[in-house]
Amino acid sequence: MSHIPAPQSFAAARAASRSLAALAFTRLRFAALSLVLLFACTGLAQAQDWSYRVRPGDTLWDLGAKHLKNGINWRRLQEHNRIADPYHLPPGTRMLFPVGWLRIEPAKARVIAVRGAVNLLTSEKAAAALVVEGMRIGIGSRVETGPGASATLEFADGSRLMIQDNSRISFDELSSYGSTGMVDTRMRLQRGRTLNRVIPAKGPASRYIIDTPSATSSVRGTHFRVSAGDEGAPDATEVLEGKVAVGNQRTEVMLRPGYGTVAAAGAAPSAPIRLLPAPALSAAPPEQLPATIAWLPVEGAVAYRVEVVRDDAPEVLLFEARTSDTRQRIDDLPAGRHRVQVRAVAANGLGGRDSSQVFNVNDQPAPPLTISPLDGQRLNLPRPRFEWTRAEGAERTRLQVAADEHFGQPLIDTEVAGQRFRPSESLAPGKYYWRVASRDGKGHAGRYGNVLPFEISDAPVDPGLEAPQAAKGMLTLRWQKGEPGQRYRVQIAREPDFSKLLLEEVVDVPQIELKRPGGGTWHVRVQTIEDDGYAAPYGPPQQIRLPCRVCYGAGAAGALLLLLSL
């Protein structure tokens, strides 16, 4: 006997059935919407025709052999275009090729610039290889950039993709439709940031699509940026030129220049948001590196991005940094004509419009070679001498000394006509850095050379007196030899304050011989004199205890004790 449900059960069953149907419809709707963007981009390319203008000498079979895939006979092309005489194609007339009949060929991307460590993985199981300029990247490959690294790729149609630091991107489709100029480029940005400059589409099958975890951006020719989880922010698309369609299974938005959208995981892309305005640069273009770029704050900005690109190829990245300050230091760049770009970043993660400034980096004349102080040298001279060579074409040298390796506030910043410099003021004990650059007769300054650390010690110079030698009524003192060209001032006194001198003499060698003084305790100190006349502080005084005069009469020399007074 079958069970007859109560009226309430029928109602519940009917409600459940409707709920399941609604859920199924919703899922089907989401699946259909996920395809909308792709079909919008392709314009239903498979149902459209590529248009070709006939040139003198074209024949139907030649065009078929050149553009049609295997299995498509030129006679089908004749029928499709209703050509009565296949032997006569009037120049200038239009022929239509169904996109589905066109030959599809792999079209690898070419690496045109690399900065830092960039890895290429050709498959999930393949070992990573370093990306180098000129390398070809095909379907199924993945590119990963590390900190401070970037790569610029060029596709078959001339479109360019800049992959910025800490990014990962996979290439799902890199193909072309024969020699039609139509290119199919599809990729997945799993993390990081990209800048895209897309050539306008040359036919209905051309497409350029970037998927992120939360949205898909599709274009047919424009200039835009895409990020995926940059600094923990949602996925973002920012349009600089042209239009970009951004969507997922929930909705689709169309972005115009100066607008962007963000999409968090599982959420629909936001309505178009106006990008923050470009910051106003407040400093002149750098004439010499290192240099600091400064700008005025932008209302609504939580950070700023600073980039330097080649002026003739703005997709080639030379420097990038993110900062919460309104200034950024740039230490080094290759020689050439460059462009610095600064943009504000909003709290929602969208980067704003760029302010830009063109400047030249000149690496000539070359920086001088450094002589002294040496790298990491410890000096006992509060006024050390800096010395360098003269580079070819240089007339003057710019010297900087600072307490920090970034030279934020140089303690010494001067230009010298010669190849030596000794500061007029003493440097306090501590660690310092120095560097030099050349300037030619026209006033052009080259880049600075390597930054060299050195240290100033407050310990007096210790000449290292050896034990005195006495023989035949004479006393000989010797000490450690210094640098070539140095001289030495020797003082001997009975009192430790050297108020009354028995001897003061300047010698060229680290040795002095004098008639024997009286017995008892004597004090000796030595001062080094540089070849330019600069006298270093005296070394620590040292004591000599001499016996009575008759002790000198022993003919042979006797080594006497030398006590250091520290």
Q: Say if residue 140 is in the same domain as residue 263.
A: yes
- Between CA 313 and CA 152 the distance in angstroms is 10
Q: What sign results for the dihedral spanned by CA atoms 89, 94, 98, 104?
A: positive
Task: Compute the C-alpha angle 482/485/491, nearest 5°.
Answer: 60
Give the per-residue pLDDT at 85. 85
CA atoms within 13 A on the CB side of 124: 0
Distance CA 324, CA 304 (A): 6
Residues 201 and 270 in one domain: yes
Instruction: Compute φ and ψ for 322, nearest 5 degrees.
Output: -120, 135
Evaluate whether residue 284 is within a structural domain. no
Count the domains in the chain. 5
Residue 164 amino acid letter: Q
Q: Within this chain, do residues 151 and 71 fall inside the same structural domain, yes or no? A: no
Round to whole Å and give the CA distance between 114 and 133: 6
Ramachandran angles phi, psi of 10, nearest 5°: -60, -40
- Within a domain: residue 323? yes
Tokens of 422: 């000794």
Domain shared by 126 and 220, yes or no = yes
pLDDT value for 142: 95
Q: Is residue 8 part of a domain?
A: no
Q: Following CA atoms 525, 530, 536, 539 in sequence, which dihedral angle do they give, to the nearest 10 degrees?
A: -30
Indicate which CATH number applies to the domain containing 116: 2.60.120.1440
Residue 7 maps to a domain: no
Domain finish residue from 311, 334, 360: 360
Per-residue HEC secondary structure of 387-430 comes to EECCCCCCCEEEEEEECCCCCCCCCEEEEECCCEECCCCCCCCE
Q: Which residues contact 208 (CB under 8 A, 6 or more apart)?
A: 41, 159, 183, 185, 186, 196, 198, 218, 219, 220
Tell whether 72 and 181 lie within a shared domain.
no
Distance from chain centroid for Cα 136: 23
| 299 lies in the same domain as 385 | no
Per-residue tens of pLDDT for the chain, all 566 residues: 444 343 344 344 444 444 444 434 333 343 444 444 444 444 444 458 888 889 988 889 889 888 898 889 889 999 999 998 888 899 888 999 998 898 889 999 999 999 999 999 998 888 999 999 999 999 999 999 999 999 999 999 999 999 999 999 999 999 999 888 899 999 999 999 999 999 998 888 889 999 999 999 999 889 999 999 766 679 999 999 999 999 988 899 999 999 999 998 888 999 999 999 999 998 777 767 778 899 999 999 999 999 999 999 888 999 999 999 999 988 888 888 999 999 999 999 999 999 999 988 877 888 898 988 988 999 888 999 999 998 888 999 999 999 998 887 899 999 999 999 999 999 999 999 999 999 888 888 888 888 999 999 987 666 666 666 666 678 888 887 877 888 999 999 989 899 889 889 999 988 888 887 888 888 898 888 888 888 888 888 888 887 765 444 444 333 333 333 22
Q: Which of 374, 366, 413, 412 lies closest to 390, judged by CA?
A: 366
* Structure tokens given for 558: 């006797």
Distance from CA of residue 323 to its chain's centroid? 14
Q: Quick one: pLDDT at residue 21? A: 43
User: Which residues make Cβ contacts (< 8 Å) with residue 250, sequence separation at least 6?
Assistant: 30, 33, 267, 268, 269
400 domain residue, yes or no: yes
The rounded distance, in Å, linking the Cα atoms of 390 and 413 is 18
Q: Which two tokens stand for residue 503?
A: 């001897």
Residue 249: the pLDDT is: 86
Residue 283: inside a domain, yes or no?
Answer: no
Distance CA 247, CA 22 (A): 23
Domain boundary among 100, 116, 139: 100
Statement to judge: residues 256 and 297 lie in one domain? no
Tokens representing residue 544 in the block: 């000599």
User: Any residues with CB less than 8 A from the CB of 45 and at least 6 apart, and which?
Assistant: 99, 204, 205, 207
| HSE (side-chain half, CA atoms, 13 Å) at 53 | 1
Q: What gap in Å lies between CA 236 and CA 210, rounded to an integer?
A: 11
218 neighbors 37 (Cβ within 8 angstroms): yes
Token readout for 118 is 């960039």
Distance of alpha carbon 62 from alpha carbon 400, whole angstroms: 70
CB atoms within 10 A of CB 565: 11
185 and 259 in a common domain: yes
Q: Which of 66, 100, 134 is the last residue of a domain?
A: 100
Residue 488 and residue 551 share a domain: yes
Are 49 and 148 in a shared domain? Answer: no
**CATH code of the domain in which 32 resides:** 3.10.350.10
| One domain for residues 311 and 167 | no
261 and 113: one domain? yes
What backbone phi and psi angles, to 5 degrees, belong to 39? -70, -35
Q: Which of 361, 357, 337 is nearest to 288 (CA)?
A: 361
Give the C-alpha distances (Å, rounded to integers) separating 118 from 23, 169, 188, 341.
Answer: 45, 12, 17, 23
Give the domain CATH number at 478.
2.60.40.10
| Its pTM surpasses 0.75 | no
In a domain, 233, yes or no: yes
- List, as one string, the DSSP characters of 89-149: --TT-EEEEEGGGB--EE--EEEEEEES-EEEESSSSSPPEE--TT-EE-TT-EEEE-TT-
For residue 447, what are the domain limits?
Answer: 370-456
Burial class from Cβ neighbours inside 10 Å (0-12, 13-18, 19+) for residue 43 reads middle
Which tokens is 312 given? 């003739």
- Cα separation of 176 and 156, whole Å? 7
Residue 464 lies in a domain: no
